[in-house]
Structure 1
Amino acid sequence: MRGCEAHDAVVLAAEGSEQLGTPKQLLTIGGETLLQRAVRMAKATRPTHLLVVLGAHAERLAPLVTGTAIVFDPSWEEGMASSLRRAAAALSGRSYPLLVTMADQPCLTQEHLDKLLIAYDGSCDVVSAYGDALGPPSLLRSQTVAQIHTLRGEAAFRRLWTAGHPAAIRRDALARRLDTPEDLAGAVGAGLLDG
C-alpha cells in the first residue's frame, strides 16, 4: 500500500560538471543517460505533474526529455537552491507533496523511490539518508515546498529540516559522487556506469 497517493515530481539536472569535464547528465548506464534514467524513474512513480530543471548544457539535454515539462534555471551556478526555487515557482499553487530527484545519482533505484512514497504519511517530509547526510531524493510536504523560496546556495536543501525531523530512508550508495575524473573512473570500475 502506497502512503502517498498523489504527488508532483521534479528532476534536478542543471549542474555544470566543471570538475568532471563532461556533463554528468550524459553519462550512461546500459546505454541510457543518467538524465533519461532519472526522468524514467520519476515518471514511474506516476506523478500528477513532472518537471525537469535544466541549466548548464540545456541545449544538449533538452532533446533527451521531450514530452516532459522543462524549466530553465539561468542561475544554475548558484547551486541546487536556485533549481529548487525555479521548480517551486513553476509548481506554485499546487498542493501535492513534491518528489525531488537528481540526475547524477547512479545508485538510485526505483525501489528506493517507492520506499519514499510508501513511508509518506503527510506528517513530515521523507528524505534519503546516506552517510551523515539527509538529502534527495526526498518527498517534501507542501508546507516545506512553500519554504523553498528562502533557500540559497548548494547546501541550502538541508536547511529545510532545521526546524523539524524528517523521516529518513537509508541508502548509503546514494552518497557516491560524480564530480571528478577520479569519481567517474571509480564508478566505471565498479560497474555503475558504462565505460
Structure 2
Amino acid sequence: MSGTLFIVTAPSGAGKTTLVRGLLERDPQVQLSISYATREPRPGEKNGREYHFVDVPTFRALRDRGEFLEWAEVHGNYYATSKVWLKEQIEQGRDTLLEIDWQGAQQVRKVFPAAVGVFILPPSLDELENRLRGRGTDSDDVINRRLLGARGEMRHVAEFDYVIINNELQVALEDLVAVVRASRLRNANQHQRHPQYFDFLEQD
C-alpha cells in the first residue's frame, strides 16, 4: 500500500506554515517531511522539528552524495528533501506532506508524479506585505526581496492541482483538510487501503 505525497507551496507570508500546522493537528494520519535548510532558526524553531539546520558545507556534501530528492536556493539559503527517507514513508503507506517552493515541487514531481500539489495564495500583494511586516522577524531588505520574488513564484500556480486563497484562516484550513480527505477517496487509493470492500466485484 502506498501513501499519498502532498506538496504545499506558497510565497513567504501567505500563511503556509500556519495552515500546515493546523492540518497536522486536525489529521494525525498526515506527517510532515522535515527538510534540510541552511538558514538560521527563527525564534521558537528547533533543529529536527521544523528543519534539519545545517551549514552550507554540510549541505553541499549531502547534495553531492546524491542524498537529496530536490534542492533549491531560496532568498540566499539552501533547502532540500531527503530522497531515501521520503520513498520509505510513501512505500510504507504513510501520507506525507512537503512544504517546498515551486522549484522543488517541479523536481519532486519527476520522481513522484502522483503527488498532490497545493498552492496557497494571499488575497493580495498588499496583504502579503502586511503579513511579512507583521512578523517582526525580517529586515526591510529581506521583506522587499521576498515581495519582489512573490509575484514570480505565484505565476507557477497553474502547475498545481489545487489552489487555496488564504483570506480567512479558518476557511483556508477547512479547504486544505478537504483536499487531503478527497485525495484519499480517489479510486486507486480506496482500492489499496480497503481491498476487502472491492472483493465482491471480482466474484463470478
| Alignment TM-score > 0.5, same fold | no
Q: Which has the higher contact order (CA 8 A, sep 6+)?
A: 2
Q: Rg larger in 1 or in 2?
A: 2
TM-score between both structures, scaled by the size of structure 1: 0.32
TM-score between both structures, scaled by the size of structure 2: 0.31
Which has a greater percent of helix?
Answer: 2
